[in-house]
Structure 1
Amino acid sequence: MMASALAQSAARGAFFTLSAQGARILLQLLSVVVLARLLTPHDYGLLAMVLVAVGLGEIFRDFGLTSASIQAPEFSDGQRDNLFWINALIGAALAVLMFAASWPMAAVTGQEEVLGITQWLALTFILSGLATQYRANLMREMKLRSLAIVDVASSAIALAAAIVAASLGAGYWALVVQQLVTGTVILVGVVVAGRWLPGWYSRRYSVRAMVSFGWNIVAANLIGYAAKQIDTVLISFRFGTSSLGLYNRSFQLVMTPLGQVRSPLQAVALPVLSRVQQDQPRFETYVTSAQLALGYLIGIPLAILAGLAEPIVSIMLGDAWSDAAPIMRMFAIAGLLTTVSFVGYWVYLARGLGRELFRYTIVTALIKIVCITVGSFFGLVGVAVAFAVHPAIAWPISLAWLSRVTPMPQRRLYLGAGRIIVVALAAGLAAWAGGELISGAGVWAQTGLGFVLGLIAASAALLAPAYRRDAGALWAFIRLMLVRSPRNTSF
């Protein structure tokens, strides 16, 4: 009965999380459409400069304590209160540092407007620092419906505030208002949903192990952040801004939406895996099921996208961007491979393997740097190919690395990944063939026929018993989403 309730809570949590993320993506598109007509590219450029520093600070602001509190097998109210004050103090310290850095940032960028933007956005660290453990507690208690409502409401209210400010002629300040309103609404929302107030910090409740775990997460994230920039740096230096624009736009079309769909599922997966980590058979079942769900539901659309790269680029970006098609195809392949391996990251967090994750991140960062460097000798497409090759090399290493420190269902994961890749390959090839078959009929017709043929090819896999079993498991999970959870997840 407990297993059934947990599975149902996880399914409902996934439903609310995906629904909220879909709503946020729609709001982001609306933001682009509306604000782009009220503001200038210069306004967005100013904000982007400052958000680079904000993104780096966010790694330190959380300090890995969200994951630390969620994965902890035992977690007292006193420990929660202590982590609240640690996150709040880190947020305040980052706000002071950000404020102090505003003058050198304005001098380095040569944009005096950066000074005011940086000083005001420093407040976001205080807001997010206060909200961190409230969000973590909602995730730990599987109150994902409440969290979904807060996230969607914050995006909608902030967008409305930005539109009003931009309409009144606020210029780039409208984007600053959007950031600050988002942080404020999130803080108010999670406090109301959390229904608890922190007590004073007490040394009676030790959080040393959690802080140690968090420090390893911070170190791993910093290395990962640096590794993520290697392709951008090499392209900008070796091939110039035009090539970088092609590469970056292709990345934004594939990898950014993928992250918006995939990463929020961690809010569902991490508390579930943490709860069952002492029950190895159930833990392995959840891990393999998560891989199948991610692989099929995300991997098949990515494979079809890879097959239809040319017409989709023409539709989304225009004919002038046709050189982006092979790059986007490589990103789609990379997205499929990273999605198949994404559950490994969840295992590191759920098991509290912060130090092992840090060491593995160093290894995979070095692999990526080598791949990208070698790929750069073959031009822009070579860099994109290297980007896709990297996860193909890193994933088996990750699985072997994990298996050395914690029990892992290696055979089931390899077989599951193999089935996913085979059906994705069939769908991608069918989509490509459909597009080529009517290449003279226009990009919309190519995309439509290719999409249909890709889905037919993927569905044909159901003729095999193994795929029918996988489909049965996925359908059971979807049915759990559609029934009311036995837990009280009301706002």
Structure 2
Amino acid sequence: MSQQVNATSVTRNVGWSVLSKTSTFGLKFVTVPILARLLTPEEFGAVAVALAVVQFLAMIGGAGLASALILEPKEDEETIHSVFWANLALACLMAAGLYIWAEPLADWFGAADAAYLLHLMCLLIPLQLAGDVAYALVARRMQFSKDALWSMISESVAAIAAVIMALAGFGIWALVTQLFVSGVIRLAGLFFVSRYLPRLRFRPRAVARLARYSLGLMGSEIANFITFQSPMVVISRFLGLADAGAYSAANRFSSIPNQVVLSAVMGVLFPAFSAMMHDRERRSQALMLSTQVTTLLLAPMMFGLWALAEPSMLLLFGPQWAAAWPVLGLLALSKGLLTPCSTFIPYLKGSGHGGALFWWAVGRAVVTTGAVAYGAYNGSLVEAMVALCIVNALVLVGYSWVVFRADGTPFLVGFYPSIRPMLTAALMAIVVRYTLDNYLALHVHTVLQVGFGIVLGGVIYAALVLLTERPLLRKLLELVRRPKPQTAASLP
């Protein structure tokens, strides 16, 4: 890597990444409800199921080669070009297979009407994988500040295009257009930032060497993907496209805070932890600091959304979605329970604990899929979401044990500080929810309920954080004030 990796550089790059995601937060906050008002639950469900299949195959097609490239000691041109062409070849094979088997796949997922979407959206696989090498180079060089602008442009233009098409009456094609516009602009931005141009060079030995690492990593990635996407597939198969659409809309909205914070943090932390692989003390400090900070930022958003789910669903999504507010609330709660785990995947990947990551990811995928399937098969969408919350509460404890054991940190010494901001956010949300239900729900307009809840929650959370997290706040203030290093040293 061309830049020294330390707490200051990690904090700075996380800041740039979070800024790029935050800049699109307001736009997504508006566009997701607008699209939900203009489109039907069935349309949301069809695109969500098709996208889940596409993303799964894209992950297999990439085979983790780009992630292995990040860990290389130096940038070797032949290796980089070899990975690009290997990725592109696998992507084209996956796209062709999806096009041929689109109808039986759609029927198996309980979404036979979505087969035509799979025929078109298979093109997203090479579109996504063509940028993997360029992103790996950006991550190696810790150039997230340069990548931030293109990320903002791609998300913003795609969201605006989707809303315009939905308003013009194009229906489901608005969502499809959003995916393709975002993918094309994102790909162009990655090539521009990384200054990478593919050349006709291919060295099979280089790909085979990286594959030994990447195949093990790919197994954990697939298991994690199944964990996150299996609820959509299960709901579509057992409960139908309408419930899948309700889940998709609520999940997209409740995932906005994760997209703002987690996608930025995880992209930076993987190469950072990789650079600290052989420095346990510095790695442990980075793990604890990053875990506390992400929990401090994410937990109030997720638990606050749980507290305001009912008025928010009615206000933002409209009457046709109002009955789905428990789904939004339970999804926010399930995500809130996992906020302390936000840094665990990049930590295990970057610190050389791929085996622990793989077996934990497989177990988590099996339990999550089984619990949601049990809830959906024996009840309704709400019961499936309750099952997801129970599983995630257990995952929080188990995942923390796995990571702190791998780090050599006593469980309670690491666990309590990492969940303390989450407990503070939960207390804040309970107070807000109680106040709304008992004093405002019957007498105050929905808009005022949401506004009052946000203000009340912000005041309560800020006061509690000042009481419980003063050491963390002082540490963050020191990092912000610390001058930027003037020299850069390559890391082995």
Which TM-score band (shorter chain)?
Answer: 0.7 to 0.9
Give CA-to-partner distance per residue, 1:256-280, whole Å, 9 cap, x none. 5534542232112112222122211
**Counterpart residue number, 2:451:** 448
What do residues 257-307 of structure 1 show as CA deviations (whole Å, max 9, x unaligned)?
Answer: 534542232112112222122211111111111111111111022222222
Match of 2:134 in 1: 134
Q: Give the letter aligned to residue 153 of structure 1.
A: I
Which runs of structure 2 are paired with 1:255-334 in the superposition (5 Å)?
Answer: 255=255, 257-318=257-318, 321=321, 323-334=323-334
**Count of residues in Structure 1 that have an aligned counterpart in Structure 2:** 481
Identical columns (%): 22
CA-based RMSD of the aligned residues comes to 4.0
Give the Å deviation of 1:396: 2.6
Deviations 1:450-473 (A, max 9, x none): 333323322333564x52112223
Paired amino acid for 2:431: A
Structure 2 stretches of 5 or more lacking a match?
A: none
Name the SS for the 2:131 alignment partner: helix
1:31–1:159 contact (8 Å) kept in structure 2: yes
Q: What's the TM-score once normalised by structure 2's chain length?
A: 0.81
- Aligned 8 A contact 1:154 1:185 in 2: yes
Deviation at 1:181, TM superposition (A): 4.2
Question: CA deviation digits over 1:120-156, x for unaligned, max 9?
Answer: 5444333333321111110111111222222223344
1:472 is aligned to 2:474:
yes
Q: Are 1:350 and 2:353 an aligned pair? A: no
- 1:313 CA drift (Å): 2.7
Q: Deviation string for 1:363-411 (max 9, x for gaps)?
A: 1123324433554556543322221121221233223334555534644
Question: In the superposition, relative to structure 1, how do residues 61 and 149 fare at CA in structure 2: closer, same or farther (>3 Å)?
Answer: farther
In 1, are the aligned partners of 2:313 and 2:321 still within 8 Å (CA)? Answer: yes
Q: 2:462 aligns with which of 459, 462, 466?
A: 459
Q: How does 1:73-88 map to 2 (within 5 A)?
A: 76-88=76-88
- Cα 1:10–1:178 change in 2 (3 A) is same
Supply the distance in 2 between the matched residues of 1:308 and 1:172 (Cα, whole angstroms): 29
**Per-residue CA shift, 1:151-205, capped at 9, x if unaligned?**
22334455677788889998866765554444333333222222244562235x6
Does 2:218 correspond to 1:218?
yes
Contact 2:404 2:414 in 1 (8 A): no
Q: After TM superposition, list the pairs within 5 Å mapping 1:91-490 onto structure 2.
A: 91-101=91-101, 118=118, 121-158=121-158, 178-198=178-198, 200-202=201-203, 206-208=206-208, 210-228=210-228, 230-232=230-232, 235=235, 246-255=246-255, 257-318=257-318, 321=321, 323-372=323-372, 375=375, 377=378, 380-403=381-404, 405-408=406-409, 410-435=411-436, 436-439=438-441, 440-462=443-465, 464=467, 467-477=469-479
Q: d(CA) in 1 for partners of 2:481 and 2:210?
A: 36
Distance 1:167 1:426 in 2: 41
TM-aligned CA distance change 1:318 to 1:194, over 3 Å: closer
Rate the CA distance shift 1:101–1:28 in 2: closer, same or farther, 3 A. Answer: farther
Unaligned regions of 5+ residues in structure 1, if any? none
- Tell me how far apart the structure 1 counterparts of residues 276 and 293 of structure 2 sit (CA, whole Å): 18
1:15 has 2:15 as partner: yes
Q: For the Cα contact (< 8 Å) 2:303–2:332, is it kept in 1?
A: yes
- Mapped to 1, the partners of 2:254 and 2:308 lie a distance apart of 13
Please give the alpha-carbon distance, in whole angstroms, between the structure 2 residues aligned to 1:329 and 1:246.
12
